[in-house]
């Protein structure tokens, strides 16, 4: 599927109207890629011409395209899509040499085949600040006092990562927390706000928070409805694109912190059928490495760091630097990967499904502190028969109930994504430890029938 990107001159107080255009059954259709409330970013950067801005725009277009092209409509094998796109950029001479690396990065991230090119961005005025704004509404930033830049999603992992950094920050310095909000998936914004309300009480004057609002419209411009893909695999590159754009103004660091437990980053497959492109790779070490290579070729010196790449979620919870604040805020965070799919939830008032792998890792991790008390849409611990279990849970039971060696884990990790051989032993031990965390949680809290299914004594 070929996607054409149309960018029109900016209007007062708005980012340039941006459209993703495609041909469907001989007819041209386009959908708006909304980059709303851009002033929150522009107030910090004061520019739209840098290579960092280019990458922000590239990442936003990738995210919008990924959401627009539903796999059930546009894949040739039920999963993989062929996507052809030309990105408009200011600094084309920097980006053209990065095409092979960036294609490989996107292919790995989304499991598709991307064919990309670049063209000169002809629109010169991409954002027009409002002519009348109260000065008190325009934030001021002391860039030299920004000690770190971290992604802040509203999940438990990013919560712990930010708590650790804010807990040890120097009095005069601050952290910059970077978030994203898509109106079509509005849960994370509420999570972020609830946590920030607590941070405001406990970390006074220690951070600034900037949130970008980006997502495609609900319909094409002709009014036809859009079938979204909803997997959001490319959300991580959008997060990184936002942070890279802001990082241009930070003189003290070239690092973006991306807090994520190492187990979910590696995403060791539960079954052989879930290897390769079917396995999520949003924070996989290989994705980070290839993206850094792409950015370096484009003359962007950005270091992507996951401080928990060798930690299980349980270790993160137990070793958090400020247990008091974590205990106040962890119930406000959401880890669920299927929060919007409540059709089969027994408790639809819950915030999290309880049976996706992020939920399972969360519950097992919180159990290590005695904090596994949240309400979930479904309770894995109450399953009494394998017949009652949905396919995802059966896959989990197969994984937990089958003996697996470190050698097996290493082989699976290599099949699922390119791992540096020097890291392979440590990553295999990490997967083994996370598996033990789940089994210990079930051993301590599961019913007898569940323990019998998994042969737990």
Tens of pLDDT, residue by residue over 54-92, are 999 999 999 999 999 999 998 888 889 999 999 999 999
Give pLDDT, residue 276: 46
Give domain limits for the chain: 337-453
155, pLDDT greater than 50 = yes
Q: With contact defined as beta carbons under 8 Å apart, do 108 and 283 qualify?
A: no
Q: What is the pLDDT of residues 165-214, one digit of tens each?
A: 999 998 789 999 999 999 988 788 999 999 999 999 999 999 999 999 99
Q: What is the pLDDT of residues 321-374, one digit of tens each?
A: 999 999 999 999 999 988 877 888 889 889 999 988 999 999 999 999 999 999
Describe the strand order of the beta sheet including 303-305 as a list of residue ranges.
Answer: 113-120, 82-89, 2-7, 18-24, 27-36, 207-216, 174-181, 146-151, 255-257, 303-305
- Please state the rounded mean pLDDT for residues 230-250: 94
Give pLDDT, residue 13: 86
- Please state the rounded mean pLDDT for residues 416-435: 91
Give pLDDT, residue 48: 96
Q: Strands 207-216 and 27-36: what pairing?
A: antiparallel
The number of beta carbons lying within 10 Å of the beta carbon of residue 94 is 18
Give pLDDT, residue 365: 98
Q: What is the mean pLDDT of the chain?
A: 92
Global confidence as pTM? 0.94
Percent of residues, the chain, with pLDDT higher than 90:
74
- Please state the rounded mean pLDDT for residues 420-429: 93
255 bridge partner residues: 303
Give pLDDT, residue 121: 96
From residue 120, alpha-carbon distances to 10, 57, 100, 200, 248 in Å are: 17, 13, 18, 43, 21
Q: Which token pair is 229? A: 């893909």
The number of beta carbons lying within 10 Å of the beta carbon of residue 306 is 22
Give pLDDT, residue 271: 64
The pair phi, psi for residue 82, each rounded to 5°, is -105, 115
Give pLDDT, residue 190: 92
Residue-level length of the chain: 457
Give pLDDT, residue 133: 79
Give pLDDT, residue 277: 46
Distance CA 348, CA 365 (A): 23
Point out the least confidently predicted range of 105-114, 388-397, 429-438. 388-397
| Greater pLDDT, 387 or 300 | 300
Distance CA 403, CA 435 (A): 11
Q: What is the pLDDT of residues 244-279, one digit of tens each?
A: 999 999 998 999 999 999 999 998 887 655 544 445
Distance CA 363, CA 342 (A): 19
Distance CA 229, CA 213 (A): 19
Q: With contact defined as beta carbons under 8 Å apart, do 31 and 68 qualify?
A: yes
Radius of gyration of the chain from its Cα atoms, rounded to whole angstroms: 22
Point out the least confidently predicted range of 304-313, 365-374, 401-410. 401-410
- Please state the rounded mean pLDDT for residues 307-314: 97
Three-state secondary structure readout of the chain: CEEEEEECCCCECCECCEEEEEEECCEEEEEEEEEECCHHHHHHHCCCCCHHHHHHHHHHHHHHHHHHCCHHHHECCCCCEEEEEEEEECCHHHHHHHHHHHHHHHHHHHCCEEEEEEEECCCCCCEECCCCCCHHHCCCCCHHHEEEEEECCCCHHHHHHHHHHHHCCCCCCEEEEEEEEECCECHHHHHHHHHHHHHHHHCCCCEEEEEEEEEECCECCCCCECCCCCCCCCHHHHHHHHHHHHHCCCCCCCEEECCCCHHHHHCCCCCHHHCHHHCCCCCCHHHHHHHHHHHHHCCCCCEEECCCCCCCHHHHHHCCCCHHHHHHHHHHCCCCCCCCCCCCCCCCCCCCCCCCHHHHHHHHHHHCCCCCCCCCCCCHHHCCCHHHCCHHHHHHHHHHHCCCCHHHHHHHHHHHCCCCHHHHHHHHHHHHHHHHHHHHHHHHHCCHHHHHHCCCC
């Amino acid at each position: 599927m070929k996607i054409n990107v149309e960018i029109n001159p900016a209007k007062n107080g708005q980012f340039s109207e941006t459209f993703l255009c495609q041909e469907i059954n001989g007819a041209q259709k386009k959908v708006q890629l909304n980059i709303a409330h851009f002033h929150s970013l522009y107030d910090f950067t004061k520019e739209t011409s840098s290579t960092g801005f280019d990458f922000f725009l590239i990442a936003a277009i990738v995210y919008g395209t990924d959401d627009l092209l539903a796999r059930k409509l546009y894949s040739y094998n039920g999963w993989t899509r062929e996507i052809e796109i030309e990105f408009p950029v200011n600094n084309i001479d920097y980006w053209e040499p990065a095409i092979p690396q960036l294609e490989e990065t996107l292919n790995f991230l989304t499991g598709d085949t991307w064919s990309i090119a670049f063209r000169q961005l002809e629109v010169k005025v991409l954002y027009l600040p409002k002519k009348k704004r109260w000065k008190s509404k325009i934030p001021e930033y002391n860039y030299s006092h920004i000690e770190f830049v971290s992604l802040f999603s509203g999940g438990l992992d990013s919560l712990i990562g930010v708590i650790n950094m804010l807990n040890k920050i120097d009095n005069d310095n601050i952290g910059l927390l970077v978030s994203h909000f898509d109106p079509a998936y509005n849960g994370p914004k509420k999570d972020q706000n609830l946590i920030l309300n607590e941070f405001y009480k406990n970390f006074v004057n220690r951070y600034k928070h900037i949130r970008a609002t980006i997502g495609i419209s609900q319909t094409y411009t002709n009014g036809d409805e859009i079938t979204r893909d909803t997997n959001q695999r490319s959300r991580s590159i959008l997060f990184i694109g936002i942070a890279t754009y802001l990082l241009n103004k930070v003189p003290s660091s070239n690092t973006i912190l991306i807090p994520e437990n190492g187990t979910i980053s590696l995403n060791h497959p539960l079954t052989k059928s879930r290897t390769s492109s079917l396995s999520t790779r949003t924070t996989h070490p290989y994705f980070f490495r290839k993206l850094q290579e792409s950015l370096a070729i484009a003359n962007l010196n950005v270091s992507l760091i996951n401080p928990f790449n060798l930690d299980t979620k349980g270790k993160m919870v137990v070793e958090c630097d400020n247990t008091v604040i974590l205990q106040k805020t962890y119930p406000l965070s959401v880890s669920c990967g299927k929060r919007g799919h409540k059709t089969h939830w027994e408790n639809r008032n819950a915030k999290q499904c309880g049976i996706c792998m992020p939920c399972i890792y969360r519950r097992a991790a919180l159990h290590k502190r005695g904090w596994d008390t949240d309400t979930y849409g479904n309770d894995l611990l109450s399953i009494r028969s394998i017949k009652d279990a949905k396919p995802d849970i059966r896959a989990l039971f197969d994984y937990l109930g089958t003996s697996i060696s470190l050698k097996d884990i290493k082989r699976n990790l290599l099949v699922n994504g390119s791992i540096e051989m020097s890291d392979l032993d440590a990553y295999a031990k990490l997967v083994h430890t996370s598996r033990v965390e789940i089994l210990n949680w079930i051993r301590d809290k599961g019913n007898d029938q569940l323990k019998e299914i998994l042969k737990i004594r």
